Amino acid sequence: MVREGEKAPDFTLQADDRKEVSLSDYRGKKVVLYFYPKDGTPGCTREAIEFKEMAKEFEREGAVILGVSKDSIKSHEKFKQKHDLPFTLLSDPEGKVLDLYGVWKKKSLYGRTFMGTERTTFLIDEKGIVKRTYRKVKVKGHAQVCLLDLKGSGE
């Protein structure tokens, strides 16, 4: 489990443009690393659109937004294109990074138990240290909270 104050574990995943991306590629920038369950679902779409609507403000704070899910690159391409998302989506089909960050959890819905992605966001500073962790994220207003916390952490 990744904790605040610790170095964010590095990883390499394939991005929606089919290039490999490592977290360490963004050293020197703030990173909003958000994990979400599935492209195209109502909550995940709403979350992506909130981040999209505030993308320029995140950029002004020197931050990049990275979305991660188990979805395929093809799914990410469609999702990104359909909603004109201005940030990178990373594919973790084997769930290795989801495990690494402790977001692959036992969930239950309508009395059924299953494994799934717990909607979680990590704010990572320019040195790669986790500054804030948001677990079991409620989508509405989440991007705004992240932005306010990023602005507040401007050491």
pLDDT one-digit tens code per residue, 113-144: 989 999 999 999 999 999 999 999 998 999 99
pLDDT one-digit tens code per residue, 56-114: 999 999 999 999 999 999 999 999 999 999 999 999 999 999 999 999 998 887 888 98
Point out the catalytic residue in the list 13, 44, 89, 143.
44
Dihedrals phi, psi of 9, to nearest 5 degrees: -60, 135
Is-catalytic flag, 146? no
- pTM for the model stands at 0.94
Q: Which residue has the tokens 């977290």?
A: 23
CATH of segment(s) 12-152? 3.40.30.10
